[in-house]
Amino acid sequence: MLASMMLFSISCDKEPVGDRPDLPPMESLVMDFSAFDQQPGGVKSSAFTYENFLHAYFSVVFWNVASTATLAVPVAAYAHALNQDAVYLGENTWEWSFDFSLQGVSYEAKLTGARLNNEEFSMEMVISMSGSPGASMKWFDGVVRYDHTHASWNLYGEQGVRLLEAEWNKDYESDASDLTYTYVEPGQEETGSFISYARVPGEVYDASYTISLSGGEVLIEWNTTTLEGRVKDSTGLGDNEWHCWDSKANGYADMVCE
């Protein structure tokens, strides 16, 4: 009987390898702002204008700055986690534990994943500065599908205040995907605002943003290869028409939409 109990105990602690979570890709958490992360520098003698691209650029700035400030530490930690092996803790729970540095500061991170059901697992990232484990802080948590077609995240700031919600979807047959950030910090002017980034390979404008702020909604579409694109903003541009710009190679020059 004792031997049977010991065997039963060992079998209960054995890792269920088939339920081990694989971390979703970085794109499930981090929005791509690379097409609008630099303001073009004009040439004084230039004969063209690039007001349409600039309107799109400044429409993205709020979200680019807000997400960068909120995500810098957890994104750095998650990038390291993707290269780590998980340790099984028992009870369908795994942990990625590691140290990393960011801008000269050393951190200790623990990312925990737990099976919820046959389709989903939960994630939670806790980070502290090295040498101060008592000051650890939860930076994000979420739920991910095992097939990596969907993930939802909550991102936190100081004192555990939830700042952003992130929702990601991926179609692996078409390679189309979308990621939406919603600003949820209580009591702020832009609380409830959102930005949604979508990629649809094969389309002329294969990337887009839908941006909703207190001042209205802005639609931006562009080609990720040439960076040629267009913007629609009835409030900021005074009409409900598309306003186009040329490729990066041609200086993002304003042009008539076809």
In this structure, is residue 14 part of a structural domain? no
In this structure, is residue 156 part of a structural domain? yes
CB atoms within 10 A of CB 193: 20
State residue 112's pLDDT score: 98
CA distance readout (Å), 59 to 30, 56, 216: 18, 5, 11
Average pLDDT over residues 49-63: 92
In this structure, is residue 41 part of a structural domain? no
In this structure, is residue 172 part of a structural domain? yes
State residue 45's pLDDT score: 41
| Residue 69: both structure tokens together | 């400030």
In this structure, is residue 8 part of a structural domain? no
- Residue 95 and residue 97: Cα distance in Å, rounded? 6
Band of residue 51 on the pLDDT scale cut at 50, 70, 90: very high
In this structure, is residue 161 part of a structural domain? yes
In this structure, is residue 60 part of a structural domain? yes
Average pLDDT over residues 195-223: 96
Predicted TM-score (pTM) of the model is 0.89
Structural domain including 110 reads 48-255
State residue 134's pLDDT score: 66
In this structure, is residue 249 part of a structural domain? yes
Band of residue 41 on the pLDDT scale cut at 50, 70, 90: low
Whether the pLDDT of residue 111 is over 60: the answer is yes
The least confident of 35-39, 50-54, 56-60, 108-112 is: 35-39
Give the number of domains in the chain. 1
- Residue 75 and residue 27: Cα distance in Å, rounded? 11
